[in-house]
Amino acid sequence: MQNKIEEIKRNALSEIEQATDLKTLEEVKNIYLSRNSEFNNLKKGMKDLSPEEKPVIGALLNKVSNELNSLFEEKKDAFYKKELNEKLLKEKIDVTLDGEYIPAGHIHPLTQTVNEIVEIFNHLGFSLVDSIYSPEVEVEKYNFDLLNVPKEHPARDVQDTFYCEGGNNVVLRSQTSNAQVRKMMNSKPPIKIIAPGRVYRNESVSARKNNLFHQIEGLYVDKNVTMAQLKGVLNEFIRLYFGSSRPTRYRSSFFPFTEPSVEIDVQCIMCQGKGCSVCSGTGWLEILGAGMTDPNVLRDSGIDPETYSAFAFGMGVERLTMLKYAIDDIRLFFNNDVRFLKQF
Ligand code: PHE
């Protein structure tokens, strides 16, 4: 029995010695120390031994099994370390190398302006209109009819407005004012909204005009809304957007859907009011149209003009961005040259 144990030990030792990787080592361990191993069978045979032999053989079996076990562990550890070292060596990284350049996106200056203006009007109590009330592809009814624009008005001319094919009165909206009508027809006052979006006009493209541009529409409907409130809100907007120092003026004007109507000019940023080519020598640049909503428009949109009054305004996003950053060509916004866009 003792000899048998010694023999198993010798064999095991030599095989452990010869194992060159983790996998072989596990196999060797399985052969010599698993439950079905010869060694384990010897342990099971202990019960047949004489009382004198039992403690001697028992102690020997324990000793050998402990020896083998710790040898396995030792060698396993060594293999682990070796493998890890090889891996670390292979995957070595040089932390002093430059990082890879990952180009980041950039928020378009027009989007930045829209965001900024929306935030200002949120602060003044206006909320963003749901986009379902502000479609870009529109029927004449909402772009013109319900805004009190006469059938023969020149703005409806195909030279000014893009009509879709098929003669079904579908246009690319020429103004965000369609959002006013759609919102009034679908809700009850008080209404206090702004509606930013794209508009289209059949213009020849130049440094000052593009046939796609952006507007932000505003509407406030409630009892006792006054022209004084209109001025208060728009003055505050101008102060927050341009800073308090920029001179502004109100000019009386005309829109079919407001009465009275005004246009607001700010002093030309290029010449500080002296007069230059950008402001056609006037020293002023128009930034928005506004007015008290015509009672016809309220009535046609389902709001009683005897009970409610309203003011509305519309502004050009490109114009406002150009004025703030002294950009002199509207086409720069649409060329998508990152060297331009990244400056904002
Ligand atoms: N829709 C007008 C335009 O495009 C601007 C405007 C909006 C004027 C609301 C008055 C009230 O010129």
- 3-state SS string over 32-54? HHCCCCHHHHHHHHHHHCCCCHH
Do 17 and 141 fall within a single domain? no
Give the pLDDT mean for 303-313. 98
Do 229 and 305 fall within a single domain? yes
Q: Is 77 exposed, middle or buried (0-12, 13-18, 19+ CB in 10 A)?
A: exposed
The minimum-distance atom of ligand 1 relative to the CA of 316 is 4
Q: Model's pTM, two decimal places? A: 0.71
Domain boundary among 57, 91, 125: 91
Do 238 and 117 fall within a single domain? yes
- 302 pLDDT band, cuts 50/70/90, is very high
Tell me whether residue 139 is in a domain. yes
Per the structure, the count of domains in the chain is: 2
Helix axes 22-33, 2-18, angle to 10 degrees: 170
For position 139, what pLDDT does the model report? 96
The residue segments making up the domain with residue 31 are: 2-91
Check pocket membership of 12 for ligand 1, CB cut-off 6 A: no
Please tell me which residue, 230 or 23, carries the higher pLDDT value: 230
Tell me whether residue 99 is in a domain. no
Do 155 and 301 fall within a single domain? yes
- 4 pLDDT band, cuts 50/70/90, is confident
- 167 pLDDT band, cuts 50/70/90, is confident
Check pocket membership of 312 for ligand 1, CB cut-off 6 A: yes
Tell me whether residue 102 is in a domain. no
Tell me whether residue 298 is in a domain. yes
Check pocket membership of 293 for ligand 1, CB cut-off 6 A: no
CA distance to 27, 76, 87, 338, per residue, from 21 (Å): 10, 9, 15, 56
Tell me whether residue 105 is in a domain. no
Check pocket membership of 314 for ligand 1, CB cut-off 6 A: yes
Tell me whether residue 96 is in a domain. no
Do 146 and 281 fall within a single domain? yes
Do 326 and 247 fall within a single domain? yes
Do 82 and 132 fall within a single domain? no
Do 219 and 131 fall within a single domain? yes
pLDDT in tens, 189-231: 999 999 999 999 999 998 888 999 999 999 999 999 999 999 9
Do 167 and 241 fall within a single domain? yes
End-to-end C-alpha distance for the chain, whole angstroms: 89
Domain boundary among 33, 62, 91: 91
Give the pLDDT mean for 75-97. 87
Please tell me which residue, 88 or 143, carries the higher pLDDT value: 143
CA distance to 40, 287, 320, per residue, from 316 (Å): 90, 7, 6
Tell me whether residue 227 is in a domain. yes
Q: Which residue's CA lies nearest to atom 5 of ligand 1?
A: 314
Residues with Cβ within 8 Å of 317's Cβ and at least 6 positions away in sequence, in order, are 110, 113, 114, 117, 196, 213, 214, 215, 216
Check pocket membership of 258 for ligand 1, CB cut-off 6 A: yes
Tell me whether residue 101 is in a domain. no
Contact 290, 312 (CB under 8 A): yes
- CA dihedral (162, 142, 136, 106) in degrees, to 10, reads 120
Do 65 and 150 fall within a single domain? no
Contact 31, 37 (CB under 8 A): yes
CATH of the domain at 335: 3.30.930.10
The verdict on whether omega for the bond into residue 260 sits within 30 degrees of 0, i.e. cis, is yes
Domain boundary among 46, 61, 91: 91
Residues with Cβ within 8 Å of 228's Cβ and at least 6 positions away in sequence, in order, are none
Residues with Cβ within 8 Å of 170's Cβ and at least 6 positions away in sequence, in order, are 137, 138, 139, 140, 163, 164
CA–CA dist 275, 273 (Å, integer)? 6
Q: Which residue's CA lies nearest to atom 10 of ligand 1?
A: 290
Do 174 and 308 fall within a single domain? yes
CA–CA dist 235, 264 (Å, integer)? 10
Tell which one of 129, 255, 257, 287 to mutate to probe ligand 1, the residue whose CB is within 8 A of the most ligand atoms: 255
Contact 190, 278 (CB under 8 A): no
Do 193 and 305 fall within a single domain? yes
Cα(255) to ligand 1 centroid in Å equals 7
Cα(21) to ligand 1 centroid in Å equals 81
